[in-house]
Amino acid sequence: MVTMKTYLATFCKRLTPGRAAGGVRFDGPLSPNPTDTHQGEPMSDIRIKKLEERFVRYCTVDTQSDASSTATPSTACQLELSRMMVEELQAVGIDDAYLTDYGVVFGTVKGNITDRMVPTIAFVAHVDTAPSFHAEGVKPIVHHAWNGRAMVLPDDPAVVIDPDENPHLRDKKGEDIVTASGTTLLGADDKAGIAIIMGLIDHLNAHPEIPRGDIRICFTPDEEIGKGVSDALMADIHADFAYTLDGENPGDLVAETFSADKAEITIKGVSIHTCCAKDRLVNALYLASKIIEVLPKHRLSPESTEGRQGFIFVEGISGNAAEATLRLNLRDFELDGLKAQATLLQETCALVAKTEPRARITCTVRPEYRNMRYWLEDDMRPVEMAKKAYIDEGFIPHMLAFRGGTDGSIMTEKGIPTPNIFCGMQNPHGPMEWVSLQDMEKALLICARVVGYWGAAA
């Protein structure tokens, strides 16, 4: 029987000198362990090449989700990658891989511990890309051994990824950087997470000595529109704990996210031909713009806030002079802040309505997800296991209060504690998105340690 003490003695090494998370440098003495399965440049090269091959291939598949759709998943194109993932899981030995009728891919890496009960953990990533920017016809570019200079993207030379404007990129000279071509997003959010999980399976297959219980694999649709986690998924995942691979900087460990509500404002004006509109037309679009203008964007918008400050984000506007709809995202780390935002929105609508009594303005607010901290505080075991893995892989964990949400936010609320491990993506949801393959490898090795620590600690 493998004990925690034995496993840690075999697999833990001292922190390697270098730059850790958040710019903190940890200079510790080197103590290479000849039995450490994570060492050896050739093995690293193999992992990097496989991560590149998979990731680039996944990015070329259009998987953009659609918040306005009532289908499950919201777009049929997501299923192309999901079906591909079932085939690839089966090819690496996951015989039970399958695609559900609600668009989720499941599979199991079988455990190797038979003499005691071991928690089942899951690794989760999402197949969809954000609907906020172009995602069709993605052409990934791999900048091998990046030379440290600004990257001008060929399909739109006005799009330049400059290390002077991307602090994390400054440390990446010599690494393999993947970008899009300038006219689309890349899709590292979250296809980097999918590639990392597939690499983890390779690693576990190559190292049967790593003690483990069953490991569940889960690829979800529609995370970007808040519909990735359903009650059906929670019933089918069969896991005690989980980890999403869906974050930015190496070293970031997320056990706290925004709480989120979604608001929809409908403005009904008075429609009439412009030839006789004098004193009769009530333009819904004009009133919609008034509502946007009245909101305190100087202190309560994404572009004017940071850290633990919440915001109201005007996500979209649609309609015409007769009827218009505003879609807004409300975000705050605390429920009181979220409630205050909803009240402000209602008061703003009422104020604008008073300026034009003939219009009808309605505002509805519905819950989207909640801060995972509320539940993780009751069971920090998955967070502590991840912290240990970060440290033993050379990072000082940066406990990030994430200004967003993940599938893990909803999974945690529904009963499976699910913190988030970084996948290395940078500048997501736009044409300047990029990721380092070396950062992806670091996440892969952290996940491998997490698997072993759960198995040894049982």
Q: Return the active site residues.
A: 128, 223
- Backbone angles phi and psi of 354, in degrees to 5: -65, -25
DSSP 166: -
Q: Is the peptide bond preceding residue 250 cis, with omega within 30 degrees of 0? A: no
User: Do 182 and 154 contact (CB within 8 A), yes or no?
Assistant: yes
User: Do 99 and 220 contact (CB within 8 A), yes or no?
Assistant: no
Show the CA angle centred on residue 67, arms to residues 62 and 71, nearest 5°. 80
Q: Which two tokens stand for residue 340?
A: 């205050």
Quote the CA–CA distance of 413 and 430 in Å, as a whole number: 29
Which among 272, 177, 257 is positioned nearest to 223, based on CA atoms? 257
Distances (CA, A) of 270 to 265, 276, 319, 360, 361: 17, 12, 13, 9, 12
Quote the CA–CA distance of 228 and 197 in Å, as a whole number: 18
Which among 174, 154, 155 is positioned nearest to 163, based on CA atoms? 174
Quote the CA–CA distance of 307 and 323 in Å, as a whole number: 37
Which among 455, 436, 433 is positioned nearest to 444, based on CA atoms? 436
Beta bridge partners of 151: 161
Q: Which residues of 385-420 are buried (b: 16+ CB within 10 A; e: fewer)?
A: bbbbbbbbbbbebbebebbbbbbbbbbbbeebbbbb
Which among 303, 302, 323 is positioned nearest to 311, based on CA atoms? 302
Distances (CA, A) of 224 to 125, 130, 220, 406: 11, 5, 10, 8
Q: Which two tokens stand for residue 365?
A: 């607010």
Residues 6+ apart with CB under 8 A from 40: none
253 residue type, one letter? L
Quote the CA–CA distance of 94 and 88 in Å, as a whole number: 9
